[in-house]
Amino acid sequence: MKVFWFIPTHGDSRYLGTAEGARHASYDYFRQIAVAADTLGYEGVLLPTGRSCEDAWVVASSLIAATQRLKFLVAIRPGLSSPALSARMASTFDRLSKGRLLINVVTGGDQAELEGDGLFVDHDTRYRITDEFLTIWRKHFRTAHESNEAVQFEGRYLKSNGGKLLYPPVQTPHPPLWFGGSSDAGIDIAASHVDTYLTWGEPPDAVAEKIANARARAGAKGRELKFGIRLHVIVRETEEQAWAAADRLISRIDDATVARAQAAFSKMDSEGQRRMAALHGGKGRTRAELEIYPNLWAGVGLVRGGAGTALVGDPEQVAARMEQYARLGIDTFILSGYPHLEEAYRFSELVFPRLPGHVRDRIGSPLTGPFGEIVGNSYLPKVSQS
């Protein structure tokens, strides 16, 4: 089981939907979170993409030297950049980070944002462009290992005549491709091209259905997929404390803010976003209305696009729910929490010891004690038996 964290380049806060308790989205704060994730034992971090965020490639590049083992899941955007340019950027990043790059293929689901960026095509056309983009992108990496080859490709939307990648990446044949898409067109892209298929945090039955569908389509093409899930997390020492924290997180949201957010989401043509919105309907604030499955809470999606659900509970409950998803075939969990710095520590301290195969010494050299503050200048703190 691998656990990733999140760099909140679109902002962070103690309360959703308000500037109260908000934090400055600065390099110093991003660096604090990245260093925390690196030293606490997280496998990597996801950086979001889009006009609401600082640029993912620039931020991730700035964090290479601040970290030692942390992997960076960074987006490429078919239709907004060329396959050749994206391949060169990926290879350079992989070389400079000594093989710590993962690629998140983001086709996009916000038509207004995409048109603002200069892409004027419909949903299915975007996925056809993505298919051609990834075909060319992967061919470029083959040229880095076979110097006599050059990319020759002529598709309906994209072309390449003599493309080459001269500097090979550390990872072969290329940095792994990750992708999330809930539509039929999206799942076909995953089946054809990517290494890890991502889903947002839907109830286990829905996740199992998506995994089975993607696995079958990949199998028909002679390929195998790995699977990951994107969730928020609110973990506290007791279940009561966790649900109180969930209530506090949305306690400053008013009806007008929810209505504005849901109106914006409803204009998107993303099947994944539609499925997220359907979990809560844009209404309700209570646990009874937003707990859509035991310990799975849809409150974040009232005002946040994309990942809108959180695992909420005490350490044993959160770990048990993660193991339930793992039994379905999920091997990577991409998590986040508010504020991201504190929740990264909470999760690592409370849940990591309860996850099978995920122990503290995964960060490298085993840490030496004592752990905790020395008592009375002389006595070592007791080790918990929990």
Among 157, 201, 204, residue whose Cα is nearest residue 182: 201
CA-CA distances (angstroms) from residue 24 to 20, 281, 337? 12, 31, 16
Joined tokens for residue 150:
């050059």
CA-CA distances (angstroms) from residue 267 to 65, 91, 180, 253, 305? 40, 36, 19, 21, 12
Tell me if 146 is assigned to some domain: no
> Is pLDDT above 70 for 361?
no
Tell me if 340 is assigned to some domain: yes
pLDDT of residue 384: 60
Tell me if 86 is assigned to some domain: no
Confidence of residue 285 (pLDDT cuts 50, 70, 90): confident
pLDDT of residue 260: 86
- Backbone φ and ψ of 258, nearest 5°: -60, -45
Confidence of residue 265 (pLDDT cuts 50, 70, 90): confident
Kindly state the average pLDDT of the residues 307-318: 96
Q: Percentage of residues in the chain with pLDDT exceeding 90?
A: 68
- Backbone φ and ψ of 157, nearest 5°: -115, -30
Indicate the number of domains in the chain.
Answer: 1
- pLDDT tens digits for 58-102? 999 999 999 999 999 999 999 899 999 999 999 999 999 999 999
pLDDT of residue 368: 57
Domain of 71, in residue numbers: 2-76+176-363
Tell me if 147 is assigned to some domain: no
Tell me if 374 is assigned to some domain: no
Tell me if 225 is assigned to some domain: yes
- State the Cα–Cα distance between residues 71 and 68, nearest whole angstrom: 9
pLDDT of residue 385: 53
Tell me if 127 is assigned to some domain: no
> Is pLDDT above 60 for 363?
no
Confidence of residue 257 (pLDDT cuts 50, 70, 90): confident
- Asked if residue 107 lies in contact with residue 126, where contact means CB atoms within 8 angstroms, the answer is yes
pLDDT of residue 36: 97
> Is pLDDT above 70 for 359?
no
- pLDDT tens digits for 156-209? 999 999 999 999 999 999 999 999 988 889 899 999 999 999 999 999 999 999
Kindly state the average pLDDT of the residues 364-386: 62
Among 110, 103, 283, 256, residue whose Cα is nearest residue 179: 103
- Asked if residue 241 lies in contact with residue 234, where contact means CB atoms within 8 angstroms, the answer is no
- For residue 94, the tally of other CB atoms under 10 A from its CB is 22
Tell me if 378 is assigned to some domain: no
- Asked if residue 342 lies in contact with residue 233, where contact means CB atoms within 8 angstroms, the answer is no
Joined tokens for residue 324:
């339930």
- pLDDT tens digits for 110-164? 888 888 888 898 888 999 999 999 999 999 999 988 877 899 999 999 999 999 9
CATH, residue 46: 3.20.20.30
Question: 34-48, 261-275, 324-338 — which is least confidently predicted?
Answer: 261-275
> Is pLDDT above 50 for 355?
yes
